[in-house]
Structure 1
Amino acid sequence: MELIKNQSISVDCVVFGYDTLTKSLNLLLINRYLESEDKNEVLVDDYVLTGYHIYEHETLDDAATRVLKELTGLTNTYKKQFKAFGDPNRLRGEKDLEWIKSENFNFRTVTVAYYFLIKTEDVDLKNTKHEAKWFPITSLPKLGFDHEKIILEAYEDLKIKCLAEPIIFELLPDKFTINEVQEVYESILNIEIDNRNFRRKLIHKKYIIPLDEKKVGVSKKPSQLYMFSKDVYDKVYQKNYLINI
C-alpha cells in the first residue's frame, strides 16, 4: 500500500513515564536539530514531542499508536486522546519556520494530541530515534512548536484523571508497595500525602490485593507487596474518586 501523508493533520504524543528510582514523573522528548547547509551554523537545537502526520488510510488512534511504536517499540499501553490544537500560528516561531522549511511541512497543520502512560524502564533509549531522552516534568528543556502548551494541558488532564480512575497502576510494576503507590500520586500531583491516612484508605480498596510476598533487595524492613485487580475494580467501580487524598 502506498503511504499517502495528510499534510494538514498530525498527531502528537505526550509520553509520561514514572521512574521508580528517582520517584519522578518524566516526559519522553526527542531532539530537534538542524544545521545550515554549509554546517557553519546551528539553526535549531531544542526538544519536541514525538509526532507525525497521519496517513490517509489511518484513523487518528492508529496513527498515534504507530508514532509511539516507532519511537519506543511499545504498543499495548494506556492511551488517551485529549485535545486538538489548531491555532493558525502554532507553527510560526522563528525556529519552527526553519524546521518546517527543511522538512517540507504544511504551515497550517492541526494536531490531535494524545498522552500515554508507560514505565520508564520499558523504553531502551539506545534503540530510539532522534536522541529520545527522559526529562522530569518539573525540569523540561527548551521546547519547539507549541509543545509546551500541549504538555501542560496533558499534565493537567492527567492530574484530574488519576483521581478519578486507577490509571497510575499503568506506571507501576505489577507488584508494588503502598509507599510506591503514594509516591506516584505525590509525583503527579506535586503534593505531600499523609502516609497513615493514605495507607488506611488504600488497603481497604477491594481491588488492591495483598500478596504473600514482600519486597526484597532493600536495606530497611521488607514491605508487603500488593497488586491491582482490574477485574475486581470493574465490578465494584462507581462514579467517584478512586482515593480521597
Structure 2
Amino acid sequence: MNNKKISNISVDCVVFGYDTETKSLNVLLIKRYLESKSEKKILVDDYVLTGYHVYENEALDDSASRVLKELTGLTNLYKKQFKAFGDPNRLTNEKDLLWIQNEEFNLRTITIAYYFLLKTDDVSIENNKYQAQWFSINDLPELGFDHKQIILEAYEDLKTKCLQEPIIFELLPDKFTINDVQDLYQSILAIEIDNRNFRRKLINKKYLVPLDEKQVGVSKKPAQLYMFSKDIYNKMFQKNYLINI
C-alpha cells in the first residue's frame, strides 16, 4: 500500500468502553506532551483522541480501523462514522498551534470522526506507548484540539443508536445478567430505569438467550446469566425497530 498521507484529511476515533465494576461509560484517550527543546519547559500536557492522517490509497473506514488497531491491537470491532469536523478554527488554540508546528501538521485539517465499542477488559493499557488511559465520560481531562466536542457528539449519537440497535452488547461480557444490561443502559442514557418493567421487557426479547448458568463468586444470590444472539436478532430485525427499554 502507498503510505503517503493526505496532509489535510484525518480520522479521529472515540473509543468507548464500559467498566462493569464502576458502572461507568469510559473513553480511551492518549497523552499529548511537548517540551521546549532549549529550556525543557512544558508547552503541552493534555489528552487527545487517537487519530492520524488518511493515506492516499486508503478508504476512510480502513484508516479508522488501522488507527484503532495501532492503539489497542484489536480488529473487527463495532464502529460508526458519525460526522466530519471541518471548522476553519478547530485547531487554532495556542497549545494546538505549538503542537501542529512541532509535528508539521496542516493547520486546515478536516477530520472524519468514528466511534468504536469494545470491552475494556480486552485492552491492555499497561506499557502502552501512547500512554493510553480510560476516563469516565462524566469526568474528562483537559483535551486538545476540538476533541471534547467530538467526544460529546459521539456520545449523543451513541445514546440514540443504543435505542435503535442492540449495540450495547458490544460493551458487555459474552455472558451477563439482566442487571448488567440495565446498569449499562442507565450509564449511557443517564437515567433511572424501572427495574421490574425493564426485566419484563428484556426477558421477552428472543435474541436474549438464557443460559444454564448463574453467577459465580458473588456474595448475594447468584443471578441467571444470558447471552446475546446476533443471528436471532438479524432474523427478527425490522426497519426502525426500537429496543424499547
Compute the TM-score of the two structures, normalised by the length of structure 1. Answer: 0.98
Write the distance in 2 (CA, Å) between the matches of 1:77 and 1:114.
Answer: 12
Change in Cα spacing, 1:237 to 1:2, as seen in structure 2 (3 Å) is closer
SS at match of 1:126: coil
Write the distance in 2 (CA, Å) between the matches of 1:48 and 1:142.
Answer: 9
- Cα deviation, residue 40, structure 1: 3.1
- The answer to whether residue 22 in structure 2 is matched with residue 52 in structure 1 is no
| Superposed CA RMSD | 1.0
* 8 Å CA contact retained: 2:165, 2:243: no
1:35 aligned residue: 35
2:159 aligned residue: 159
1:141 aligned residue: 141
* 8 Å CA contact retained: 2:177, 2:226: yes
Write the distance in 2 (CA, Å) between the matches of 1:162 and 1:34.
Answer: 38
- Cα deviation, residue 38, structure 1: 1.8
Write the distance in 2 (CA, Å) between the matches of 1:75 and 1:219.
Answer: 36
- The answer to whether residue 78 in structure 2 is matched with residue 78 in structure 1 is yes
* 8 Å CA contact retained: 1:201, 1:243: no
* 8 Å CA contact retained: 1:14, 1:27: yes
Between stretches 124-133 and 55-64, larger displacement belongs to 124-133
* 8 Å CA contact retained: 1:166, 1:242: no
- What one-letter code is carried by the residue in structure 1 that aligns with 2:238? Q
Write the distance in 2 (CA, Å) between the matches of 1:122 and 1:167.
Answer: 17
- Cα deviation, residue 2, structure 1: 4.6
Between stretches 231-240 and 196-205, larger displacement belongs to 231-240
1:97 aligned residue: 97
- Cα deviation, residue 84, structure 1: 0.4
Write the distance in 2 (CA, Å) between the matches of 1:142 and 1:136.
Answer: 13
Post-superposition Cα deviations, 1:23-53, rounded to whole Å, max 9, x if no partner, equal 1100000010000012431100011000000
- Cα deviation, residue 127, structure 1: 4.2
The equivalences for 1:160-175 within 5 A come to 160-175=160-175
- Cα deviation, residue 129, structure 1: 2.4
* 8 Å CA contact retained: 1:213, 1:225: yes
- Cα deviation, residue 241, structure 1: 4.7
- Unpaired segments of 5 or more residues in structure 2? none
Write the distance in 1 (CA, Å) between the matches of 2:89 and 2:188.
Answer: 30
2:88 aligned residue: 88
The equivalences for 1:1-245 within 5 A come to 1-245=1-245
Write the distance in 1 (CA, Å) between the matches of 2:151 and 2:2.
Answer: 33
Number of residue pairs aligned between Structure 1 and Structure 2: 245
Between stretches 21-30 and 32-41, larger displacement belongs to 32-41
Write the distance in 2 (CA, Å) between the matches of 1:2 and 1:165.
Answer: 36
Identity %: 75
- Cα deviation, residue 21, structure 1: 1.0
- Cα deviation, residue 161, structure 1: 0.1
SS at match of 2:27: strand
- What one-letter code is carried by the residue in structure 1 that aligns with 2:131? E
* 8 Å CA contact retained: 2:82, 2:114: yes
- What one-letter code is carried by the residue in structure 2 that aligns with 1:192? E
Write the distance in 2 (CA, Å) between the matches of 1:186 and 1:127.
Answer: 32
SS at match of 2:70: helix
Compute the TM-score of the two structures, normalised by the length of structure 2. Answer: 0.98
